[in-house]
Amino acid sequence: MTLPLTHPDALFARLGDETLRRVLWAFYARAVQDDQLGPVFTRKLGPFPRGGWPLHIARLEGFWRAVTGGPSAYRGQPGPAHADLGIGAAHFDRWLTLWEETLREHLGPAEAQALLTLAGRMRVNLERHARPFPPPTQETP
Ligand code: HEM
């Protein structure tokens, strides 16, 4: 079954607060253990699940509530937040793989597919902002 992404309010209503929160904590618990993604997250947010993690996940809850049509006060800027993390296509591929694994474990197939599709679309935009290889700083002779 395919959920109608043109009516995303149906998606949040089907997920609910608790499930969304559970999926996000499970996803980041997995991402932080990953060889490729873990160091990027830990550098920015500190040791999971303390440091900046509760705030990060609360923001992500707001973000996912907004994009699935739930009530949300999220007003962040995901693009710039990813500009200087030193990430590129391979990181985004890995992110989506772990996202898919987490969704398949926690949700029914229709909800999992809908959240995977949404993340795949957003990845395109975030990757445009990301600058994986900043130019070397000019050395003065
Ligand atoms: C390569 C994969 C990714 C990495 C390593 C990554 C890492 C991060 C980090 C470290 C932050 C915190 C930035 C800060 O506090 O300044 C962040 C914020 C965020 N990320 Fe990602 N991210 C990735 C992919 C994604 C994807 C695919 C999405 C959406 C589907 C996403 C959505 C967000 C959102 C909404 C925020 C909050 C931005 C704000 O402050 O408003 N990220 N990410």
ipTM of the complex: 0.92
pLDDT at 116 over 80: yes
Residue 123 CA: nearest ligand 1 atom is 27
Domain of residue 43 covers 9-129
- The verdict on residue 135 lying in a domain is no
Residue of 37, 67, 82 with the most ligand 1 atoms within 8 Å of its CB, for mutation:
82
Within a domain: 74 = yes
Is position 104 within any domain?
yes
Residue 82 assigned ligand-binding role: yes
Nearest ligand 1 atom to alpha carbon 122: 30
Q: Whose CA is nearest to atom 33 of ligand 1?
A: 78
Q: Which amino acid is at 123?
A: R
**Separation CA 93–CA 96 (nearest Å):** 5
Confidence grade of residue 37 (pLDDT, cut at 50, 70, 90):
very high
Predicted confidence (pLDDT) at residue 1 exceeds the cutoff of 70: no
Q: How much is the pTM?
A: 0.89
Task: Kindly give the distance from the C-alpha atom of residue 33 to the centroid of ligand 1, in angstroms, as a whole number.
Answer: 16
Tell me if 137 is assigned to some domain: no
2 domain residue, yes or no: no
Q: Which of 131, 25, 17 is nearest to 71 (CA)?
A: 17
DSSP single-letter state for residue 27: H
Residue 67 lies in a domain: yes
R_g (Cα) of the chain, nearest Å: 16
Task: Ligand 1, residue 64: give the atom nearest the CA.
Answer: 35
pLDDT per residue as tens digits for the range 42-73: 999 999 999 999 999 999 999 999 999 998 99
CATH number for the domain including 115?
1.10.490.10
pLDDT at 126 over 60: yes
Distance CA 77, CA 74 (A): 9
Q: What distance in angstroms lies between residue 35's CA and the mean position of ligand 1's atoms?
A: 17
Q: Is residue 136 in a domain?
A: no
Mean pLDDT of the chain: 91
Angle at 23 between CA 21 and CA 24, to 5 degrees: 65
Number of domains in the chain: 1
